[in-house]
A and B are shown apart, each in its own frame.
Chain A
Amino acid sequence: MKILDSKAGALTNFEVLDLLRSRGAGTDPTRVIASVSPSEFKVFDYLENSAACNQTREIIQKFVDVCKKFDLAKAEILNIINTRPSSAVEVYQIIEDCDIRMEEDTIHELVETINQILPSRQSTEETAEENNEIEEETAEENNEMTS
């Protein structure tokens, strides 16, 4: 075995989750039929319970574009996308030499940006409720049209 390139690219948690979903990990409740092994399922469970479960490619791309003005290292942006800190205290840990590189206003601006662009884990329940309401409305419209 020869290692050609040990760092061929960094992956966000979302990309790994997407990869496992594309193999069928999310849609299979029995966990036997999909071509995903038990150890891969453990990773899938961990990622589904993390901040990555609600992200999409567009959200991440938008976040990376907006973060250019904060002058963050690539590893720091990756860490933020993976853990989704929601307060200044959490951001302080992720960014190296935070108090030297960024002032308090910039940190608050960054936290605002994170809260706006990256979805939190609870938002699936809200969107599920919205979807249910929309489905009920369309069902009512259909009933009216048929009757």
Chain B
Amino acid sequence: MFFLSEIEHTLRLPPYLLNRPLNEAIKGELDSTFLDKVIEKLGLCITVYDIQSIEGGFIFPGDGASTYTVMFRLVMFRPYEGEIISARLQESTKDGLRLSLGFFDDIYVPVPLLASPVHSEPDPRLKDSVTWIWEYDGQNYPIDGADEIRFRVHNVSYPPIPLEQEEEASDKKAVKPFAPMVITGSLDGDGLGPVSWWV
């Protein structure tokens, strides 16, 4: 789930940080630049693991800030295809399920990848929400938010940043914020799905 990635970055240290010890100031700048951000092909940055070297400290003409070349390692969240992860159910709609890990919410299980055979029932409590129920051996097993759901990572994609915001003037539906990293999961298999089905 987590990997280390080594990055070299040219960091501009603003002048108001000059009275702080160098390591602290650089760590603070790295945190604000990389933490909780998605880097394409590397995944979601969780935290800075360590700083390996800081070089430079040059001040470019016309600029008040000093520029450093920093080599450091980041802990990246990047699940590989075929990995089994436990997550919680966030919402269940007619297109499938959406799962969440707390720090990462864009995990989708589309209808074709749900445990088959499965049928849906509209949920009386929430509008637009359906409960998916798995049929096995004559028994009905609903997918509710009670316990953890194990899924297999089917695909990790990094959709490109959209250039234009879609205008939904007539439709009152809220436009979903752009997700830079999307994990597609699959529940189709023995041992996958809510943990209570298998324990």
Nearest to B151 among chain A residues (CB) is: A93
A91 to B198, CA, bound (A): 12
Nearest to B47 among chain A residues (CB) is: A40
- Tell whether, in the assembled complex, residue A93 and residue B3 are in contact, meaning their CB atoms are under 8 Å apart: no
Q: B53-95 toward A: CB 8 Å interface, digit per residue (1/0)?
A: 0000000000000000001010101001011111000000000
Give the segment of B5-13, B135-143, B163-171 that binds chain A: B5-13
- Tell whether, in the assembled complex, residue B42 and residue A83 are in contact, meaning their CB atoms are under 8 Å apart: no
A79 to B79, CA, bound (A): 10
Contact among B5, B84, B103 for A39, CB-based, below 8 A: B103
Chain A residues contacting B73 (CB-CB under 8 Å) are 8
A116 to B83, CA, bound (A): 23
B118 within 8 A of A: no
B46 within 8 A of A: yes
Give the A-B contact count at a CB cut-off of 8 A: 107
Contact among A5, A45, A87, A93 for B152, CB-based, below 8 A: A93
Chain B residues contacting A40 (CB-CB under 8 Å) are 35, 46-47
Chain B residues contacting A94 (CB-CB under 8 Å) are 84
A1 within 8 A of B: yes
Contact among A2, A13, A16, A45 for B102, CB-based, below 8 A: A45
- Tell whether, in the assembled complex, residue A90 and residue B198 are in contact, meaning their CB atoms are under 8 Å apart: yes
Which residues, 59 to 83 on A, are CB-close (under 8 Å) to B?
75, 79, 82-83
B144 within 8 A of A: no
Q: Which of B73, B77, B85, B86 has the most CB of A within 10 A?
A: B86
Contact among B1, B5, B199 for A13, CB-based, below 8 A: B1
Chain B residues contacting A79 (CB-CB under 8 Å) are 83-84
Total interface residues on A, CB under 8 Å, equals 39
Which residues, 13 to 54 on B, are CB-close (under 8 Å) to A?
31, 35-36, 39, 41-42, 46-47, 49
User: Distance (Å) between the CB of B189 and the closest chain A CB?
Assistant: 6
Q: A2-41 toward B: CB 8 Å interface, digit per residue (1/0)?
A: 1111111111110110011000000000000000010110
- Tell whether, in the assembled complex, residue B71 and residue A92 are in contact, meaning their CB atoms are under 8 Å apart: no
A91 to B189, CA, bound (A): 12
Chain A residues contacting B4 (CB-CB under 8 Å) are 7-11
Can you report 14 A-B residue pairs in the complex whose CB atoms are below 8 A from each other?
Answer: A1-B7, A2-B8, A3-B5, A8-B73, A16-B2, A19-B49, A20-B47, A37-B35, A43-B46, A79-B83, A87-B198, A90-B150, A93-B191, A93-B192
Q: Which residues of A does B touch, CB under 8 Å?
A: 1-13, 15-16, 19-20, 37, 39-40, 42-43, 45-46, 50, 75, 79, 82-83, 85-87, 89-94, 96
Q: Which residues of B does A touch, CB under 8 Å?
A: 1-10, 31, 35-36, 39, 41-42, 46-47, 49, 71, 73, 75, 77, 80, 82-86, 101-103, 150, 152, 189-192, 198-199
Minimum-distance CB pairs A-B, first 9: A42-B103, A39-B36, A5-B6, A8-B4, A11-B2, A46-B102, A4-B6, A93-B191, A89-B191
